[in-house]
Structure 1
Amino acid sequence: MVKSRADHKRQKAMAGTGKRQKRSRPRRRARTTKRGPGLIERALRRILRFFFGIFWWLGLRVGIALAIVIGATTLYFYATLPPMEELLDGRDRGSVTLRDRSNQIFAWRGEQYQTTRTETASPHLVNAVVATEDKRFFHHFGLDPKGIARAMTANFKAGRVVQGGSTITQQVAKILFFGNTRSLERHIKQIPIVLAMELKYTKNDILSIYLNRAYLGAGAQGFEAASQRYFGKSAREVDPAEAAMLAGLLKAPSRYAPTRNIDAAQGRANVIIDLMQEQGHLTRIEAELARAQPASLSPAAEARAGGYFADWIMSAGPSYLTQGTTEDVVIETTFDPRIQQAAEAAIAKIFAEKVSEGSKAQAAVVIMSPDGAVRAMVGGRKTSGPVAGQFNRATMALRQPGSAFKPLVYAAGLESGMLPTDTFFDAPITLEVPGSKSWSPQNYDRKFRGEITLTQALQHSINTVAVKVSERVGREHVRAIAQDFGISSPIAKGPSLALGVSEMTLLELTGAYAGILNGGRRSKPYGLTSIKLKGDNTTLMGADREANFRVLNETADGFLIYMLNQVIENGSGARAKLADRQAAGKTGTTQAARDAWFIGFTADYVAGVWMGYDDNTPLKGVTGSGLPAEIWNEVMTRVHQGLPPRPLPMLIPAAPQVVERAVQPGTDDPVANSVMESVLNSIFGSGN
């Protein structure tokens, strides 16, 4: 092989160094052993791949199947969902709106409802509802995964349910199809309905359904009814503070109802205002103004007057137009809120000043015009113990009136020809009662006054004379007079009927006194004047009043009013005397003081007062001439404020005549014979 010149030079240069070039040896690598997976590991991997494949295969197909099912059911609900307008009013029955004598609303019954729409409602109301219930409402498809995750996190941290993840659409689906059920099954079934609603309706439509179907307390369904109920204005007109209070009711309508606890309602509203500010619905200044000027109730809602009166009207009217109505009706009544407030304030004042704190004694008041038009009614008062519901002691409680019944006995006597100046002997009397023991009525003070006039006997509530008058004219006559004056409860048949042992209601007996003031004509109590459909001026039913037929002749009636006036002027009713006008009335106290009454009238109004315990516990130190007369005075003083005094239509009798001594034995005059019989009874102490 021929070497090149370059190779010769390279060899020569190497030789010239005098050193031997060492070869570099390759570095020995560390010896490693590569091992494959073991038998067990390979087996486990194969098993996992197998099951993963099965799960993937099944999951894919189950997912596809679920998607098909959800899609099919969604399309089904989409096809079957009715037009939005048909879903706005979901009530089972109608509502009743009650108006007073001035045509102002004072009470509501049933489920109140009035339509509102998202587009026409106040923007503040829409923002308050969305901020409170579903701030992403306008941005999700009916289900809000972020909201659900947020709620689950909050609930997990709290260890209890503190936050819900339901959207407004889900809540509408619950209202429409699921009621109050709460379960995982309901949430699953809800999904296709929610999706169908989102496909079929616009967001404004869904929110409109919610605004109309949500229950907001006090019988108000929907925000329009609630706005009218609490604020006396349309939902189109509410300001931020009012909108926040209404939206706050969604959480707990009963707890936050402003008619129940205005402070709690305002506190909840402040929470909503904070949310509205955080979400940009209110500026800082608007929010501060809303907090500084919180929403307040309308005068009608704040008064909350006339509950017992409204309940009486609802029970007295035809059920198909009141309690069972399927329409929205308006009932016009005789109710006067000013008089109602006067009655409530009077009871509160007397009990606060003169009744022991914590007493469970009850009181009831009825006030009416002479023709029987009921103007106010207090069926009871709240006590420190459990409230006995809506039991109306003015219309439902059957109690003995005691001496408050005696004017009807004297009415029968005057109608038979007696005079206020006729004299009777207040002396012991014993009557034989068939089938029972003999009966000897006693006076309240256990004293006898001898010869007194009928006027004096009524003045001082003398029992013996009342019984003698009843026996003379006949018990049937007394019973007939009482029934003609409107006492429909059963009246006792024995001689004790003269002392008011027959049970009756305060409303009945007050109506009888109204008849006395009404010229001796029957004045049946009434409160309903007309019933109309809401939005229609056609009267469906007017006042179902009976003809005010005459019960007493004018002379007898005038004398009776005079005698009742003397009860207040010079007798047992002195505490009821009014400072600026004439009044007439009668006290009543039953045996063992289980009931105490005072019923009386001026030329303008008639008022009846009852006091007692629901369980018939005797009153301590209370008679009709005491606290009931004072309540009556306080009520009538307030009622007549601003009214000019008018005289009573009474007839003052001539000078007293000693009738019993003027009658000679053996006369054919039946009245004179009965007078002589009374004289003999008073002498020998025996009855008929």
Structure 2
Amino acid sequence: MSRTGKRKSPLRADRRYPASPAPRKTTTAGKTGNPPPRKSAARKPRKPAARRARGGGGGPLGPVRALLRWIVRLVWAIGWRVGAVLGVVVAGAVAMVYNTLPDSTELIDGRARGSVTLMDRGGEVFAWRGDQFGGMITADTVSPHLKHAIIATEDRRFYRHFGVSPRGVASAIRINLSEGRGALEGHGGSTITQQTAKLLCLGRPYVPSEWKNEAAYEADCRRGSLTRKIREAIYALALEARYSKDEILTIYMNRAYLGAGARGFQAASQRYFGKSAAEVDPAEAAMLAGLLVAPTRFAPTSNLERSRERANLIVGLMEEQDYLTPAEADRARTYPAALSEAAEARAGGYFADWVMESAPSFLASETTEDVLIRTTFDARLQRAAEDAMRTVFEEKVREGSKAQAAIVVMSADGAVRAMVGGRKTRVSGQFNRATQALRQTGSAFKPFIYAAALDLGYSPDSIVVDEPLTLNVPGSGPWSPKNYSRDFAGRVTLTEALADSLNIPAVKVSEAVGRDAVIAVAQGFGISTDIDNVPAMALGTSETTLLQMTAAYAGILNGGSSVTPYGLTELRLLGDDAPLLGQDGGIGERVVSGGAARQLVWMMHRVIEDGTGRRAKLGDRPAAAKTGTTSAARDAWFVGFTGDYVAGVWMGYDDNTPLSGTTGGGLPADIWRETMLRVHDGLPITPLPMDPPKGGGALVADGAQSGGQGPSVAPLDDFGAAGDRVVRETERAITNVLKNLFGG
């Protein structure tokens, strides 16, 4: 076969190691053929410039750069070794803590002391004392809104970090420094896991013998030193290694303090909203989560508006993190969380404080168990008393007045139904003027004098002469009592003397029947404070409390038997069926006869009908009472009863400043009337247990000035007594007409 063109060279493999390079030829056209032969195989050393171009080692900055490179290499060489050592140390520390951690359920309730739950007469919870634990909740059983509110507020990356958030710590340090605080002061950047570690006090339990009190222990657990932060981080890492995220969140939700004595979100939800933490809506969840930053400051029972403002901020965070839709967030803002009735009552106020003081301390204020106490408390009557006081002070007391008042409402057997210890009604742990203030009783003491007289055989129609009187008091000299009106009524019945609160007849009767007999009656009815055995005793110069006076009047209503005021009806431990303590009533021994008590009720009824207590009339409902005003009007009293309830009112200043233009028949009578109208709203009328006098009587002798050696009486013409009564009643009727016409 013939070939055309230039003949191709045969294919062959290149020589790997040619003997000598072929010389490259250059054509006339300047194209290169074979490459030129290489020169000597010996390489030339690189120039310093080339070296400088690649890494720099020369020039004026060369030594500096070299030094920096050396430092970096040294730091790296040391750093990774130190880091490795620290990693081993941290891992060992975490492992040690890990081995000490119990099952997560054992860390749920961290209280060192017990709690007291108080229920009213109907079995409804109205107050709490001590640190409450509402029962265990878990991350699965709690309301999703509450779970999301906690995470959005406290730790949005909770499910993504390993227990410590370097980003959160750095952010907190930056904020603290920008606000002029130390790096570790203020914001801590703690994760929920770290906060849980703090709540667990890094595994150190409370030992009473090692601390002044539990508050000191908790304050130490909250310390924020650098060393403490390091230990806290190690403990948090151990928690993350030992428990799941939901278990850590469960511990946190059950141990966090949320104000008003509530430990855990279940207790807080029950306390503030009267429902389980599994039932809260977004607005309620936001309010609860907002308490974590400052439980006392943001507690809704302390300042509801401030708590709602904080909740609105939480709602915004939940919306921002897509836990709430815009519509749900708007609804939560439009309809904010509202307190339950019990929470609005501020945890039972004065009544709950009194019951706690009355119960054995080892089962109340110092209990280490969870205790349930059933009480005589009536929420409706409590509202009635609070509303009555508020109404009178708003409408009839000058603005800015510092005058105080107290109210007690009880049944005839001594069961206390309501108690107001001061003008600030929704408080706890405050001075209780109903139970703690010892005040002179004034003329409110006089029923005990007439009770003694009636029990000794006198009649409501017995006559006593209201006239100038001077008694020689051993050690003090002559004493001349005066009436409030500064005049004298002449011959009056015991009923009229009590109705008009005449002082001289009260002293005469007291001296006639004997001061010892009067003191015995007063103490028998429950006045346990010292009563001075002097003639002025009849005018109420001795001191006692409003609670004791109200209970004493309850003894008059119930037929003459002593009464011990009580508020506790049953006490038992949580989970037990059998009560440890119980009480069915407070009626004790008889003090005066039933007949004397019924006659006294009739006499006290006349106080309201046409005596000093006329302002307290309750319309068609019969009532009996007595006014009281002490020297210089430092105290004003109105204590009385219907067939259903007894109520006592005291008014005065804490510093004994005299009241201006106020007597027992004035503002205290108004408060009493407003209280009793509300208390009896909707109740049928119950008649008073009273016996009107049968007519006739005896004259209480005027010469009984020997300190009470017994009554000396003389017969009195019935016609003369009746004639005097007609004249007095006519004068009183004319006076009432003039007052109604001219407002006098």
Fold similarity call, TM over 0.5: yes
Distance 2:636 2:167 in 1: 67
Distance 1:135 1:458 in 2: 74
Offset, 1:128: 1.0
1:309 aligns with 2:351: yes
Offset, 1:210: 0.6
1:262 aligns with 2:307: no
Distance 2:276 2:62 in 1: 75
Structure 2 CA distance for partners of 1:172 and 1:583, relative to 1, 3 Å: same
1:169 aligns with 2:190: no
- 568-577 vs 362-371, which moves further: 568-577
1:413 aligns with one of 435, 440, 453? 453
Offset, 1:230: 1.1
Distance 2:147 2:347 in 1: 32
2:145 aligns with one of 124, 142, 163? 124
TM-score by length of structure 1 reads 0.88
Offset, 1:39: 11
Corresponding residue of 2:643: 603
- 628-637 vs 396-405, which moves further: 628-637
2:382 aligns with one of 340, 343, 350? 340
SS in 2 for 1:607: strand
Offset, 1:561: 0.5
SS in 2 for 1:508: helix
Structure 2 CA distance for partners of 1:601 and 1:660, relative to 1, 3 Å: closer
* RMSD between aligned residues: 2.7
Code of the residue aligned with 1:376 in structure 2: it is A
2:285 aligns with one of 243, 247, 250? 243
1:102 aligns with one of 99, 103, 122? 122
2:165 aligns with one of 144, 163, 179? 144
Asked if structure 2 preserves the Cα contact closer than 8 Å seen for 1:259 and 1:301, the reply is yes
Corresponding residue of 2:581: 541
Distance 2:552 2:176 in 1: 65
Corresponding residue of 1:511: 551
Give CA deviations for 1:371-406 in whole Å, capped at 9, x if unaligned: 1110000000139xxx99600000000000000001
1:355 aligns with one of 385, 397, 409? 397
Corresponding residue of 2:238: 196
Offset, 1:188: 1.4
Asked if structure 2 preserves the Cα contact closer than 8 Å seen for 1:426 and 1:448, the reply is yes
Distance 2:62 2:677 in 1: 103
Code of the residue aligned with 2:344 in structure 1: it is E
Offset, 1:532: 1.5
SS in 2 for 1:339: helix
Give CA deviations for 1:260-287 in whole Å, capped at 9, x if unaligned: 2222222222222222222122223332
Corresponding residue of 1:628: 668
1:437 aligns with 2:450: no
1:495 aligns with 2:515: no
Structure 2 CA distance for partners of 1:544 and 1:322, relative to 1, 3 Å: farther
Structure 2 CA distance for partners of 1:437 and 1:458, relative to 1, 3 Å: same
Distance 1:326 1:664 in 2: 63
Give 5+ residue unaligned stretches, structure 2. Answer: 1-24, 29-46, 203-220, 716-744
Structure 2 CA distance for partners of 1:575 and 1:434, relative to 1, 3 Å: same
SS in 1 for 2:580: strand
Distance 1:648 1:357 in 2: 38
Offset, 1:60: 3.7
Asked if structure 2 preserves the Cα contact closer than 8 Å seen for 1:305 and 1:341, the reply is no
Asked if structure 1 preserves the Cα contact closer than 8 Å seen for 2:413 and 2:586, the reply is no
Structure 2 CA distance for partners of 1:129 and 1:426, relative to 1, 3 Å: same
Distance 1:664 1:278 in 2: 90
Structure 2 CA distance for partners of 1:672 and 1:353, relative to 1, 3 Å: closer
Corresponding residue of 2:686: 646
Distance 2:152 2:536 in 1: 71
Corresponding residue of 1:77: 97
Offset, 1:438: 2.0
SS in 1 for 2:588: coil
Asked if structure 2 preserves the Cα contact closer than 8 Å seen for 1:306 and 1:340, the reply is no
Alignment of 1:373-452 (within 5 A): 373-382=415-424, 390-452=430-492
Distance 2:517 2:76 in 1: 98
1:180 aligns with one of 200, 222, 244? 222
Corresponding residue of 1:525: 565
Give CA deviations for 1:600-659 in whole Å, capped at 9, x if unaligned: 001111000000000000001011111111111111111111011121111100223353
Code of the residue aligned with 1:656 in structure 2: it is G
- 644-653 vs 301-310, which moves further: 301-310
How many corresponding residue pairs?
640
Distance 2:371 2:711 in 1: 60
Distance 2:680 2:329 in 1: 46
1:90 aligns with 2:132: no
Distance 1:495 1:615 in 2: 27
Give 5+ residue unaligned stretches, structure 1. Answer: 1-6, 11-31, 677-688
Distance 1:627 1:184 in 2: 62
Offset, 1:414: 0.9
Asked if structure 2 preserves the Cα contact closer than 8 Å seen for 1:415 and 1:552, the reply is yes
Corresponding residue of 1:21: none
Code of the residue aligned with 2:666 in structure 1: it is G
Corresponding residue of 2:610: 570
Code of the residue aligned with 1:397 in structure 2: it is A
Asked if structure 2 preserves the Cα contact closer than 8 Å seen for 1:142 and 1:169, the reply is yes
Give CA deviations for 1:394-431 in whole Å, capped at 9, x if unaligned: 00000000000010011111111111111111112222
1:279 aligns with one of 321, 338, 352? 321
Offset, 1:353: 0.9
Matched-pair identity in %: 58
1:469 aligns with 2:506: no
SS in 1 for 2:517: helix
Asked if structure 1 preserves the Cα contact closer than 8 Å seen for 2:348 and 2:428, the reply is no
Offset, 1:237: 1.3
Corresponding residue of 1:3: none
Code of the residue aligned with 1:288 in structure 2: it is D
Distance 1:168 1:664 in 2: 85
Code of the residue aligned with 1:82 in structure 2: it is P
1:64 aligns with 2:97: no
Distance 1:380 1:493 in 2: 31
Distance 2:428 2:511 in 1: 41
Structure 2 CA distance for partners of 1:321 and 1:672, relative to 1, 3 Å: closer
Asked if structure 2 preserves the Cα contact closer than 8 Å seen for 1:305 and 1:337, the reply is no
Offset, 1:483: 0.9
Structure 2 CA distance for partners of 1:516 and 1:447, relative to 1, 3 Å: same
